[in-house]
Amino acid sequence: MSIRGRNNAARGFTLLEVMIATVIIAMLTFTLFRFVTANLNAMKYTSELQDERAAVQAVVRFLQAQLADLPRGGNGNAALLGNPLKLHDLACDELIWRTHAGPGVLTTAAPGEFRVTMTVQPVESTSRELELGLRREPITAEARTDLGFFERGSGANKYNWVTLIRPFAALEVHYFDPRLNAWLDRWTDQNARPTLVRVKLWKNADDAPVEAVLPVPSAQMQQP
């Protein structure tokens, strides 16, 4: 072989070397792709989680404002009630309060006084997907006549439903009774109010709940 032929052979690449280089480049590209994809998914999950918790925290702030704005009248007006319930083996408690038009009913155009219930219910009657919302029922006959909202239910059970968070998993509410120095899972005393309300909200059943203990200022003004 001539000197020129030997130099050309030394400068060239064999087929095996080209295949090895191609495999290495492919592996590096695949690793980089997986790294970028994992980071994008993590960023998306973090953003969604932050949005979900922000929505739940907004509900807590809304509820805190409603407890601070309960009617400060005398005993017997049942301004705050609560019932423990379950749906699909998860807590879907009812927290019920009285309010006038405005933030408590999420509208300023509704006349009269309302009974508002925060609870969890199916999106549709046959659906297993749940949502957290407000069930708004006018208390006075005048308000019921003038109610211009879409009503769910039928007959005497008609009510207006406002969705707050969908999907949603569970709502648990407890009430602190200073007379017993204990937390109760229901509140049915129409002549008194709890001094504290503890709520736990699960956006997803497998996640840790958002928990808050909220004061009831008007409870301090009750007659002994």
pLDDT digits (tens, 9 = 90+) for 88-120: 899 999 999 988 877 777 777 777 788 899 999
E-strand ranges in 37-188 read 80-83, 86-87, 90-91, 94-100, 113-122, 130-138, 160-165, 170-177, 182-184
CA dist., res. 135 & res. 62, Å (int): 15
Distance separating alpha carbons of residues 113 and 70, to the nearest angstrom: 12
Burial readout 138-161 (b: 16 or more C-beta within 10 A, e: otherwise) = beeeebeeebebeeeeeeeeebbb
**Bridging pattern class, strands 113-122 and 94-100:** antiparallel
Query: Is the Cβ–Cβ distance between 195 and 219 less than 8 Å?
Result: yes
The Cα–Cα gap between 171 and 59 comes to: 11
Between 109 and 214, the higher pLDDT residue: 214
How far is 59 from 38, CA to CA, in rounded Å? Answer: 32
pTM as predicted: 0.71
Distance in angstroms (rounded) separating the CA atoms of residues 130 and 95:
17
Least confident of 111-115, 159-163, 176-180, 200-204: 111-115
Quickly state the pLDDT bin for 45 (edges 50, 70, 90).
low
